[in-house]
Amino acid sequence: MSPTRAEVCIAAIAEVWRDAGEIMASPFGTIPMVASRLAKRTFSPDLVLTDGEAAIIVGAPPITTKPQDLVREASVPYKTIFSIVWSGRRHIVMQASQIDQFGNQNLSAIGPHHQPKVQLIGVRGAPGNSVNHKTSYWVPDHSTRTFVQAVDTVCGVGYDRAKKAGVGATRFHELPRVVSNLGVFDFSGPDHEMALVSVHPGVSVDDVTRATGFALHIGDVVETPPPTDEQLAIISEIDPKGAREREIKS
């Protein structure tokens, strides 16, 4: 049976943590959460996962595990999270309501700053995350509304703004990957512009460029590797109720 689009995305996101060592993985969204647990069960066994609140958990249990049934290895007080963030020992996968060609990300508001048309969840920790440790992005709905020429509000800091801000912003700033429901991207284009790395099975380069509101750097584009049979079996164990399929359309 062929993997679904959601399962291809899970395998692609898991790759951001390949051989990461003992760092904290912070996934936002169902598909990134499954991906982090897939990475820990396969090629990144030292990856540190949390309960999403204040503790490190043992192993990579199914996402359906009730909070009271999680086995906790250690407490992580809120102040400790800041120490981890500032040390660079974290790789977060955040979502993006908007993202531009240099990786500036918005999840705060759509429209003019003084009178936005839509209020979203707010800036959250995006500025500190994006200048202190690796930050990748997951966009489940790739369109010209999400991949835009300029974001309405800068939450996550892109390469152009980090450069303007100076060494304080660039020292630990790194945006390894953007994964959408159409493909995988990095910032290997000129001046750290977004580049298309791979398209998911059934998606063409033209599909991606039509759904993007700026000119992507197009190099040697390949097809996103599908998950192996072993990975598919593990994905089903991690997400036994198929919540992954509700986050995007296959």
pLDDT digits (tens, 9 = 90+) for 172-225: 999 999 999 999 999 999 999 999 999 999 999 999 999 999 999 999 999 999
pLDDT of residue 114: 85
pLDDT of residue 100: 98
pLDDT digits (tens, 9 = 90+) for 51-72: 988 899 999 999 999 999 999 9
pLDDT, averaged across the chain: 94
Q: Which domain holds residue 124?
A: 5-246
CATH code at position 23: 3.40.1080.10
- What does the pLDDT average to over 113-120? 88
* Per-residue confidence band for 249, with pLDDT thresholds at 50, 70 and 90: low
| Sequential DSSP letters for 86-102 | HHT-EEEEEE-SEE-TT
* Per-residue confidence band for 125, with pLDDT thresholds at 50, 70 and 90: confident
The number of distinct structural domains making up the chain is 1
The model's pTM: 0.95
Residue 178 forms beta bridges with which residues?
A: 137, 185
What are residue 83's phi and psi, to 5 degrees?
-65, -40
Amino acid (one-letter) located at 33: M
C-alpha pair distances (Å), 231 with each of 30, 84, 110, 149:
16, 29, 37, 36
Instruction: Select from 240, 239, 210 the least CA-distant residue to 10.
Output: 239
